[in-house]
Amino acid sequence: MARFKSTKKIVVPGLAVAEKKFALVVSRYNSEVTEALLAGARECFERHGVTGEGVDIVHVPGCLEIPTVCAKLAESKKYAALVALGAVIRGETYHFEVVANHSTWALVELSMKYKVPVACGILTVDNLRQAKARAGGKEGNKGWEGALTALQMADLMEKL
């Protein structure tokens, strides 16, 4: 049987954080949830050695404002990765779909445009119970997961 020989290098992301700067962009809307997401993200960064000046935090009114601020931060080239944190909770109108779809898609577009990883920690849930479960409850903390993704992607982008 022939063996597969690859000449390509396999790149695996690690968590090397020396000299890297990160930013958290956090929606104030549904602050009971978003502050818990922020706490999870900060804890993750601290646990992995990113503290103080290594993390900037920017608060915005709502999730639709997150992409604009992320674009400005990405454009500055000061950050190895960004983390977007918010909570969109379904209501009685179509507004849920508009906010959920537009905010998350805009993050994907700006990440590709500026070549800066943007970890999406914007919850899109049906009710407050689901949001709390994902902001430090039984489903974990998506803020923590977003920060971990940012750390891994920053390392990966540096290796590529």
pLDDT in tens, 74-111: 999 999 999 999 999 999 888 989 999 999 999 999 99
33: CATH: 3.40.50.960
Whether 36 is covered by a domain: the verdict is yes
End-to-end CA distance of the chain: 32
Range of the domain at 151: 22-159
Q: pLDDT at position 3, please?
A: 64
Catalytic-residue membership of 95: yes
Q: Would you say 84 and 107 are in contact if contact means Cβ atoms under 8 Å apart?
A: yes
Query: Cβ distance 35 to 132 under 8 Å?
Result: no
Q: Which of 48, 59, 95, 102 is catalytic?
A: 95
Whether the pLDDT of residue 17 is over 90: the answer is: no
Displacement of CA 94 from its chain's centroid (Å): 25
Is 29 a domain residue?
yes
So what's the pLDDT on residue 47?
A: 94
pTM as predicted: 0.90
Spatial separation of the C-alpha atoms in residues 79 and 6, rounded to whole Å: 33
Sign (positive or negative) of CA dihedral 38, 42, 48, 51: positive
Contact 73, 35 (CB under 8 A): no
pLDDT over threshold 60, residue 121: yes
**Beta-carbon count within 10 A of 150 CB:** 31
Q: Indicate whether 3 belongs to any domain.
A: no
Q: How many domains does the chain have?
A: 1
Q: What is the pLDDT of residue 118?
A: 98
